[in-house]
Each structure stands twice: as C-alpha cells, then as structure tokens.
Amino acid sequence: MATKKTYRLFEDISDVDVSETDIWEYDPEILNHLLIDHTMSAKVRKESNDMTKFANIFWATNDYSERNDGYQYDDQIMPERIVGLNGRVVMPRVLKDKQLQDARVKDKAEVFTPSWVCNAQNNLIDNAWFGRENVFNAEFIDANGFHSWTPTDGKIVFPEEDKQKTWKKYVSENRMEITCGEAPYLVSRYDTTTGIYIPIGRRVGLLDRKLRVVSENTETPGEWLKMARKAYEHTYGYEWQGDNLLLAREALLYTFIEHYIEKFNERDADGKIIVKEIPEKKSIIGIARIISWNLWQMDGIKMVVPDSCDKVYSVGLFGDVEKQECQACKKGESIGHIGVHCLIRDWNLTKVQAEKNGWKPQNGEDPKSSPWQKIRFSTLLNGKQVETENEELEES
C-alpha cells in the first residue's frame, strides 16, 4: 500500500486534472509549497513577531462559497479543503460546469486562450530572440481550417558567433505571463479550451521550450536538474484567483516531472514510456519551492495582494479602530496603494549587490533563506532600488 501511494503521483502524471491528494500522499511538504503565499507569510510573521507563522493563498472567488467554512472568498486554501473527499474541488476551467465558466467570464473577464494562439505569440518572442522564424515549430492551417503546428526536428540551433545567444543564456532569460490563469503561455500540458492533453514533443509554453533546450544539451540527471532549476528561477507569472494560481503552480510542477521522465526513460515497442527513473523527492520539493515564489497572487494593476487596500486599519488615540481609505484606489491610479505589496524573489541577486542598494538584515532573519533576494515586484518593475521585507522561511 505504501509503495502504491508513493508512486501514484507518477503513474497518473499525464492526467489533465491534477490530483492534490496524489501530491499530498507522496509528500505533504510539496503541496504546502504550492499553497503558500510568501508575501502574506512575511506580513503575519512581522506582525506576530513569530517566525513560525505562515499564510496560504486565498480563494479570491465566491465559486466555492456554498461549501461553507473554509471556502469563502477570503479564506486561505488549506490542504484539508482540497484533498481526500475534497480531492476534486479544484479542477481546470475546461472541466468546470458551463454555467460556472460563464459566470467567471462575467465576474473576472476570465477568458482562456487556445494553445495555437499561445504558440503563435510565444513564437514571436523567439523569432525576435533568435533572429529567425520557425525555431521550435512551424505553424499551419489544415484543410479543415484548424490552426496547428509541426515541431522542428533535431536540436535547436543557437548562433555560434553570438556569445549572448547561447543555450544557457536562453534558459536564463526572464519570461513572465501576466494574469496567468492556469499558465498556458508558460506550460502547455493541455489545451485550456478543449482539455486535450498535449504530449511533451508538441508543447509550446515558454518554460516547455526552455526545458526542451535543457534536455537537448545535457546528459546526466545532475546536469539536467541544475539547468532545469535555472529555467524555473527565470520563469514568472501572477494571478488574482487562488484556484487558478494553484492550478498554474501544479501545471509547472507536473511539467518538471514529465520532462525529467521523458529525458531519462526509454519507450517500449508501442512508444509508451517505461518509467524507471523519476526525479528525487528533494528535487521535486526544490522546484515546488521555486514555483511558489515565481507564481504569486496579485492584483496586476495595483501590484498588491488582491483586495488588500480595503483591509487597512489604524488605531486612534483612544483605541478606536478606523478603516483607512486608499487614495490611489480612489483616484484610479496604479501606484501609491496602501495594500500589501507583493514580494517576489530575484534568484541571482547576491548579498553584496543587495547591500550596495541599501539592504540591511532585520532581526530574526535566517541567512539560509537568502532574505536579500526578496524584493517588491513594484520595485523591480519600476526599476527602483532594491527594497526588502522582514521575512524568514524555513529553507524556503
């Protein structure tokens, strides 16, 4: 029974609807990473002066409110709400009830993009980077008028004369999907409009392309893991709704496992992979940790935690509590909001660089968590000096 539970995650790795229960039974730490909100964790730890506190992403939708406690708009998404008997609460949009899909379109303008559109736009990015077309695939329209693509054969060719256009440089290029939903521009495990699973060789996401390059240019698991980690550290996305964000994080995690299995296992006579080699648990946990930082919950216009401007209070001289009004919200401006500004991580930032930009350690910070790498997204976007928050995370 223990062996079956341990490996069910890998046996069902091609499922479009990821099973949170499979992840939890393989190792609860992985699901905990996929649920954590590092920005709000920093806030609750600072306010409580308790470095053991943490906060998870919250639902940020009323779609689950009929389930009562634990599923309301402002409730954090806790593991027990999405595993076991609750294991199919969160599912991809394409598998949801049509009425619910329509409601989310009206409420949050939630419209998901067909894979061929994602591919066409991602191709434009690579056309500019490589200086040529059809690098990863060639687009076409079939006889029935359907858009599709044909993956290129062989290794991706990089310009030999340009040292800034090497395969390692490509893997380390920053890529971000704004309002990412289930992250179809980053990873294309399935078409978000049809629910059809897409095999590794036909994937078109920005991170899929990086991992293809990694697989083509590495031989050993150690080499592959090192560069795959680099690919994840330089791939970002943000989303308002918590269920979408969880789906996006899961998609990136499963993509990591799938690419590893594809790279280091053989196929039988029928073309089916014989799974013998899987990534070590510590490697999966490490990637989940990176994903939890690089895909975060945010109001993309205000660059703060969704609705956090409406939850700021001050205490008067006589102990009276008064709600503060956000002038930036009132004026419809994009900067100057009083909500909780979202933290992200610059994985390349060294302590020396941070100190040059004014960073100083705070009491209680754990140097193992590289606190100098934690910066406000708004700071990074606006190109200002590095700002940091007082946060400590257990090896995360």
Average pLDDT over residues 31-42: 96
Separation of alpha carbons 265 and 59, rounded Å: 38
**Phi and psi dihedrals of 56, rounded to 5?**
-100, 165
**Selected residue with higher pLDDT from 329 and 101:** 329
Asked whether the predicted pLDDT for residue 95 surpasses 90, the reply is no
Averaged pLDDT, 280-306: 96
Q: Write down the residue that tokens 């196929």 correspond to.
A: 267
Q: Which position has the higher pLDDT, 215 or 348?
A: 215
Considering the chain, what percentage of its residues have pLDDT values greater than 70?
89
Mean pLDDT of the chain: 88
Q: What is the pLDDT of residue 322?
A: 86
Given this model, what pLDDT does residue 73 score? 96
DSSP string covering 83-135: SGGGTTSS--GGGS-HHHHHHHHHHH---PPPHHHHHHHHHHHHHHHHTSS-S
Poorest-confidence range of 57-61, 141-145, 161-165?
Answer: 161-165
Whether the pLDDT of residue 45 is over 90: the answer is no
The secondary structure of 62-90 as a DSSP string is STTGGG-TT-STT-B--GGGTSGGGTTSS
Percent of the chain with pLDDT over 90: 67
**Structure confidence at residue 393 as a pLDDT band (50, 70, 90):** very low
Residue 277 has a CB neighbour count (10 Å cut-off) of 12
